A and B are shown apart, each in its own frame.
Chain A
Amino acid sequence: MKQSIFTIKENVALTSNVYRMLLEGDTGAVTNCGQFVNIKLDGLFLRRPISVCDCEGNILTLIYKVVGKGTEQMSQMIEGDTLDVLTGLGNGYDTSLAGENPMLLGGGVGVPPMYMLCKKLISEGKKVSVVLGFNRADEIFYEDEFKALGADVTVTTVDGSYGVKGFVTDVMKNADYSYFYTCGPEPMLRAVYNTSTTEGQFSFEERMGCGFGACMGCSCKTITGYKRICKEGPVMKKEEILWEK
């Protein structure tokens, strides 16, 4: 983990409520895809955890959805503004288990962390298929960016307004894959868990206090004991997940 000040290079809307922010600064602590950062915002007490979409050189790419006060405030920031960011948080995805043709399934704002993972898997010579799930056509982002990486991309929409009508699991159930990686809302993660026929990795979300393992605010129970989503997670292997509630 590292705390440093980043400068906003770009902050643009990708859809009506999803934004992409490029931050320039010391990215040295970002060691893996699937990690997150925790951002301090003026006037708000808790930092905001946001998953890392990409990290190249000293540029960090974040894609976030406006869901409350913090992300609303982020969406109004402009190029040149600065942010106090804790970087290098969480474990990230383990690509060593991917096999030859892994499948990546991202739903909504679960899509961004799939991008850096996809890039890494392709650089490791894997044949990657990506399924991006959205509710409607006007919510879609990053389809072309994933295609540009060389992945085989399928988009699903719940209302059928674009791509395959249905959920990411409707594509998964007919697909051939060696392993899978997923991030998205919990109902989607549960559906992927139940549909999948191989091992895989899931990225979880939880309300956090600190984001670096100090407060025990985001703990969960797993087959292998209690884990902190922010520290031993956010990525968990399929075989260790204990669904509760």
Chain B
Amino acid sequence: MGKMSVNLCGIELDNPVIPASGTFGFGYEFAELYDINMLGTFSFKGTTRDPRFGNPTPRIAETPNGMINAVGLQNPGVEKVISEELPKLKKCFNKPVMANVSGFSVEEYVYTCEKIDKCDQVGWIEVNISCPNVHGGGMAFGTTPEGAAEVTRAVKAVTTKPIIIKLSPNVTDIVSIAKACEEAGADGISLINTLLGMRIDLRTRKPVIANKMGGFSGSAIFPVAVRMVYQVAHAVKIPVIGMGGVSSAEDVIEMMLAGASAVEVGAANLIEPYACKNIIEDLPRVMEKYGIENLSDIIGGVR
């Protein structure tokens, strides 16, 4: 066991650094740049039952220290992910990968998770519950404890791998939602998904993004993420993955002090393709600077 290793729901990671879903594709673009086996793992592109093109463009807007995206879960659908993407990934990544699953109804989550659960390459299933429930008036599953628990329970009933529920920060009481997921059988919690944001072009007076609103990410949201990770990690017993604006080894350590067992890196990968490699290589220096012997010792260590 190395000084940087951590345990995530029973699976050992060489280090806690995990590229976040939607910022790392299925890994190949990055495998051309560096050996992605140095990562703890990575969370692959959000996968749905059916293929999706996503939203119209423009899908991207800039913000101070961050960005807004409204990609809209573009993905080839679970069948193609299993038949094409995973075999391709096998050639450049030999660790268990984290599958990221989205859905617009409980049945869709169940269908996709059940299929993904049978893939040997998959170590964990991260379930994104920030999507609107088409049968529930369009409210996102993750905005109520009941909705979050319903998805968790249904997915747990058809899977064997650890289920990590990825929470939306666009709620009034994230702790109650995290607790509801834990009670419904979740093996872990990851947070935060993007914050709902919007930009307006002064010249055209139109929203910059065609979808009007989108998910706000990047270093600007880091303090919000640290706060929510702290609140949730101190309220549940299951492991928490912290994410939101992480872009340095110092940020990884701060997230872990707040209570994260592992840390996802999102928008930083898009700006700096070597972001995760740089963070992993910088961690030993920062650990030494702050007198940290083993990273796993500092989880939730905020005083």
Contact = CB atoms under 8 A, between A and B. Distances in A.
B273 A215 contact: no
A216 B270 contact: no
Contacts of B183: none
B142 interface: no
B284 interface: no
B71 A217 contact: yes
Interface string A64-101: 00000000000000000000001000000000000000
B53 A207 contact: no
B61 to A, nearest CB: 7
B66 A45 contact: yes
B29 interface: yes
Interface residues of A, number: 27
Contacts of B67: 45-46, 209
A1 B32 contact: yes
Nearest to A46: B62
Contact of B69 (A1, A86, A215, A231): A215
Interface string A22-65: 00000000000000000010001111000000000000000000
B62 A221 contact: no
Given A215-B22, A217-B69, A209 B54 contact: no
B60 A1 contact: no
Interface string A183-204: 0000000000000000000000
A220 B53 CA distance: 8
Contacts of B62: 44-46
Interface size bucket, B side?
35 or more
Contacts of A245: 56
A214 interface: yes
A245 B53 CA distance: 15
B65 interface: yes
A117 interface: no
A243 interface: no
Contacts of A207: 57-61, 208
Contact of B273 (A45, A46, A210): A210
B93 interface: no
B59 A218 contact: yes
Interface string B21-44: 011110001101100000000000
A79 to B, nearest CB: 26
Interface string B66-78: 1101010010000
B97 to A, nearest CB: 16
Contacts of A208: 60
Given A45-B218, A46-B62, A219-B74, A209 B273 contact: no
A7 B67 CA distance: 27
Contacts of A213: 25, 29
A214 B23 CA distance: 6
Nearest to B274: A3
Q: Max chain B CB contacts within 10 Å: which of A213, A214, A220?
A: A214
Given A45-B218, A210-B271, A219 B24 contact: no
Contacts of A40: 271-272
B53 A214 contact: no
Nearest to B33: A1
Given A1-B273, A210-B271, A216 B71 contact: yes
A219 B270 contact: no
B57 A206 contact: yes
Nearest to A86: B273
Given A45-B65, A214-B270, A219 B25 contact: no
A6 interface: no
Q: Max chain A CB contacts within 10 Å: which of B64, B66, B270?
A: B270
Contacts of B193: none
B94 interface: no
A209 B53 contact: no
B74 A226 contact: yes
A214 B269 contact: yes
27 contacts: A1-B32, A3-B273, A40-B272, A45-B67, A45-B219, A45-B271, A46-B270, A86-B273, A207-B61, A209-B67, A209-B69, A209-B270, A210-B270, A213-B25, A214-B23, A214-B30, A214-B269, A214-B270, A215-B23, A215-B60, A216-B25, A217-B57, A218-B60, A219-B54, A219-B71, A219-B74, A220-B57
The 6 closest A-B pairs by CB, nearest first: A210-B270, A207-B58, A217-B60, A216-B74, A209-B60, A213-B29
Interface of B: 22-25, 29-30, 32-33, 45, 53-54, 56-67, 69, 71, 74, 208, 218-219, 267, 269-274
